[in-house]
Structure 1
């Protein structure tokens, strides 16, 4: 992959996008297309493969999208773009184990990564100005003129007028137990998607998965294909797995945006009422949850921090299991594992994890049981979901941003302090000039900000903002990009 950096000089660009998952890739794609290739955009990724991030880097064909193919287009104005791409690339689909992709099909995430790679590569071939830099960013320094010096591991630098932090999701946070020595055990695994994790889990013995969300379900799908080595145990605080997708008749928005619910309790009441009415009309609760989507961020922003905390404490797990659903095929695999005795699921809270001569002893309190239970397992895999408290992250760049005061956590520790359009506030509450973000870091402000339908809107909106600002700072006459017929959404 091109890195475009010279050891003896700095590299200059109009915009640097740090992180080449879905969010960063689409921001760079939109920006270079809007400019007609007249500006320089650096898309920076520390891993070898661009346009995949964590979600679409998996090689396991049993890891499926949790949204139907017909709604996964990379562009907000063309949600069926991915579906058409599948029809135009039958060989690629067959290589991913699928054929005859329909609008309602749940296809492998690897295939979606192939699609995003082609979107990026075709953009790079068609519009000059896009540089792909395979580098790890070590530091970000704000210059007196409001621009940035991006420093890479190894010491080379890049001067950027604008910087976008497209950081994506981070690994799960470690369980906060009194004795944390198990964190250093080779039997405690924190990357469920790593090939090394699956290789270790092929050893004989029982396995404990912490967390029953989409990540835990992914791991179950991978383990189901392997010869049985023992029982798979799953412990989660609420005992909730993702709900299955099913056909439902679409409903119009039922929330009055001129009278948004003031509390989480009121919102719950409205959702329950709408779900009952949907069932009576021959639909189901899924249509209600989908109809709520356009209003979710507005409702969240309507609530104060106290009300948001109530939602997180009491309702978040139930909301996420209904909002972020899984394919019926994936849940059928989980059910089959339970039926044949390979899977045991518990609602409870882990009290301790202690390493011994034969593995790890796990003590946990099961819901509504008086006495703690114990499990002896060979491995514990952390699938509790991405760590959102940025103060706990061990990422070198994030730690440097904190040291420089360029970022600060939001009051709920769901992400960082941001404003409208992805602007970032520093430790003193001031806007950091020319620094932006999108996606997961905005959870505190937006709540719903990790799925493709939200991210593609954010990427397009941020690219438009960056292009407007770059144009204002350029000499008169630089107007490329607007009215250009080549800017149609195609790959």
Structure 2
């Protein structure tokens, strides 16, 4: 059945998005090429493309001691753009795929479908897939307008004003912090960098991608957060006693998470998200070996210091910034630096989303926040719930905004599996209605 598919994206190229289109050439994938699986039917496609295109040979720094290759993220964005161009040029259904270079601001139900607003313009579609990326970072202090406070390090040119010898204090110690440190060092920065986060946790290093397949939680998962943690630790100890690594257990949990996550009582899932998620994130979202080595170098040489504690506030003047904080187990104090950079990660509160379409849809009752506060509420097929608790006909949500249902929809294989489920659901709906216009946003 030929379809008319519009992809609404203001960027000039399709496929890269924020993750692979807004990064510098110095930023690497945090997994090797053979783990970047867009389709389970062709698991080695990107790794093969990387070799045949010559991009692998151009990037010897991506090679690690175990023979793996961690490509630049921008290169993966090029690969994704090529896939989209190929689908536009020809596909098995004969569908027409159009790139609409606009920003979708509103969405509202109308007779026969949905109306998407682009400022003063609008267009009507039978079906919509909301596939927006993460929101901008949350701001962990009262908003302060100052040129030496960088609220969003992903804005173009955000780090340009930082001098090579400037001192920096960073809020947040996850992968965004890693990217900022990599960018600064690549630009020749040699000043002191202080990193402060609530727990001082940093992404753990990669160490192979074997999967320990005996988790067995698909049918009878632990029913409390405490049971889950105890069982996880027990299984890690068993694997390590046999010469394995903890990463293999986490890999197995990640693969099986969609099968058992919703079988855990909601109250306990909320406890897991609140108390265990910070630890899950640093073990799940691990750093490329090149990045881990740089952080260790920085700590050894003294130009990088990572601390745990609570940030109370931030003030700025022409002379720099002052961050008030209390170290874990210590007394309240102040860190003085030339610049402050916010690396706390995406804001999960969709009411504050940097995407106008999400804020408006929530306010208008088109969507509702999920019970865990991680994004948009959806069912097993990716269909969105409205503010009245009813499923919205013809409205799906893909990607990180729908991760509360599966527990994790951030990594590429996870998103690919989720999108396949949505595509099957959408195809079934189209077959029932015999309509011929769909849209992805």
Give the TM-score of the pair, scaled to structure 1: 0.83
Please state whether the residue corresponding to 2:420 is helix, strand or coil: helix
Give how far 1:444 is off. Answer: 2.4
5 Å-filtered alignment, 1:63-462, equals 63-90=27-54, 92-95=55-58, 104-127=68-91, 128-145=95-112, 147-153=113-119, 155-175=120-140, 177=141, 180-182=142-144, 184-202=145-163, 204-228=165-189, 230-247=191-208, 249-369=210-330, 371-462=331-422
Summarize the Cα distance change of 1:105–1:426 in structure 2 as closer, same or farther, 3 Å threshold: same
Summarize the Cα distance change of 1:250–1:307 in structure 2 as closer, same or farther, 3 Å threshold: closer
The corresponding residue for 1:31 is: none
Summarize the Cα distance change of 1:181–1:119 in structure 2 as closer, same or farther, 3 Å threshold: closer
Summarize the Cα distance change of 1:71–1:228 in structure 2 as closer, same or farther, 3 Å threshold: closer
Please state whether the residue corresponding to 1:420 is helix, strand or coil: coil
CA contact (8 A) 1:207 1:380 kept: yes
- 247-256 vs 132-141, which deviates more? 247-256
The CA distance in 2 between the partners of 1:303 and 1:326, in whole Å, is 29
Give how far 1:157 is off. Answer: 2.1
The CA distance in 2 between the partners of 1:330 and 1:364, in whole Å, is 27
Residues 378-406 of structure 1 deviation map (CA, whole Å, 9 limit, x = unaligned): 22111111111111224321222123210
Give how far 1:340 is off. Answer: 2.0
CA contact (8 A) 2:370 2:377 kept: yes
Summarize the Cα distance change of 1:79–1:190 in structure 2 as closer, same or farther, 3 Å threshold: farther
Summarize the Cα distance change of 1:123–1:315 in structure 2 as closer, same or farther, 3 Å threshold: same
The CA distance in 2 between the partners of 1:280 and 1:341, in whole Å, is 35
CA contact (8 A) 1:193 1:219 kept: no
CA contact (8 A) 1:253 1:292 kept: no
The CA distance in 2 between the partners of 1:285 and 1:473, in whole Å, is 48
Residues 237-266 of structure 1 deviation map (CA, whole Å, 9 limit, x = unaligned): 111111101136542232243321111111
CA contact (8 A) 2:38 2:412 kept: yes
Please state whether the residue corresponding to 1:200 is helix, strand or coil: coil
Give the TM-score of the pair, scaled to structure 2: 0.92
- How many pairs are equivalent? 432
Please state whether the residue corresponding to 1:222 is helix, strand or coil: helix
Residues 46-91 of structure 1 deviation map (CA, whole Å, 9 limit, x = unaligned): 222321111101452331111221121211222211111112211x
Residues 411-444 of structure 1 deviation map (CA, whole Å, 9 limit, x = unaligned): 2211121111111111111111101101111132
Give how far 1:181 is off. Answer: 4.3
CA contact (8 A) 1:228 1:342 kept: no
Query: What residue ranges of structure 2 are gaps of 5+ in the alignment?
Result: 437-441
Give how far 1:100 is off. Answer: 7.7
Q: RMSD of the TM alignment (CA)? A: 2.1
